[in-house]
Structures are given as C-alpha cells and as structure tokens.
Amino acid sequence: MTPEEQKAAEALLKRYLTEHLNGRNDDVLDEFIHPDFVHHTDESALGFENTEPDLAGIKAGMVEMREKLDPTYEFEIVKWEDDWVHLNWTFHGVHRGAVMGLEPTNKPFTIHYTGRTRFKDGRIIDAQNEWDPAATLEVVKAQIYS
C-alpha cells in the first residue's frame, strides 16, 4: 500500500473503533468491512453461539459479545507489511454473561492481544487476532475473582 492508502486505512480503523466497536452502531459496519471479509481467528473457546467467520457471523458475534462482556476497545498500530497492518489491542470488559465456562460475576477485566488486518478496496477484508485461550482464561479469572 502507498503511504496515502495506509493513512486512509488507519483513519478507517479509527472510525471502525469509534463508531462500531465502541459506538456500537452496527448500521455502519458495511462501510468498514468488505463483502468478502473473513475473520481468521478461532474464538470457539469463548463458547459463543455465533462463530461464523463472515460478515453476518461477525455482526451476530458482536451482539453476543456486547451482551456477555460489555466491551470497549483500544488499539495501537505497530507496523505495516504490504497491505496488512499489525495492531496491539486492549479489550476492557465487564463479565455479564457466561464465557469460557465462567458464570457471570459482573466484575471488570482487561486483556491484551495482537492482531493483523488486511485491506482491499478501502475496507477491511481479512482480520486475524493472536490469543491463547488458556492464558487469557487465567488472566480473566485472576481479575474477576480477586
């Protein structure tokens, strides 16, 4: 990607964070996500019902995520590799629903993970987050049971 395309993609990511992830406006999701989008992260350990990797699955998964974890997100851009941007993510949640076999505690927690996102035609076409479910579970348990 050219530096101008990278700047535009970074602006899109910031809007995606502000308007969709933290703003919880699902009506704008199509502005950010390419129709051929694929989410490459295995999130089955969360125990959510909605795990399809396409756009419809992402929409349904976000509704479930909000109900169970009341999330807010932050990200920091680490580097660009061609049309992929590497990110450090921070996830702040409140444990309101059963997740990963843990019954709700209504306590806050924070986790950190890395990810990468690829763009096509000015929208996000691929996303992959790196996380260790067992390690994440231990981090969450330490916070919600303290």
**Number of domains the chain is built from:** 1
- Per residue in 11-35, pLDDT tens? 999 999 999 999 999 999 999 999 9
Which amino acid, one-letter code, is at 1? M
Nearest-angstrom CA–CA distance, 102 and 115: 25
Q: Domain of 16?
A: 3-144
- Residue 27 is predicted with a pLDDT of 92
Nearest to residue 7, comparing CAs of 89, 77, 90? Answer: 77
Nearest-angstrom CA–CA distance, 133 and 127: 18
What does pLDDT average to over the chain? 94
- Residue 52 is predicted with a pLDDT of 78
66-92 average pLDDT score: 97
- Residue 23 is predicted with a pLDDT of 97
* Cβ–Cβ under 8 Å, residues 132 and 79: no
Question: Which one has a higher pLDDT value, 42 or 69?
Answer: 69
- pLDDT exceeds 90 at position 50: no
- pLDDT exceeds 90 at position 135: yes
CATH number reported for the structural domain that contains residue 105 in this entry: 3.10.450.50
CA dihedral (135, 140, 142, 146) in degrees, to 10, reads 180
pLDDT-above-90 percentage for the chain: 82
When pLDDT is cut at 50, 70 and 90, the band that residue 54 belongs to is confident
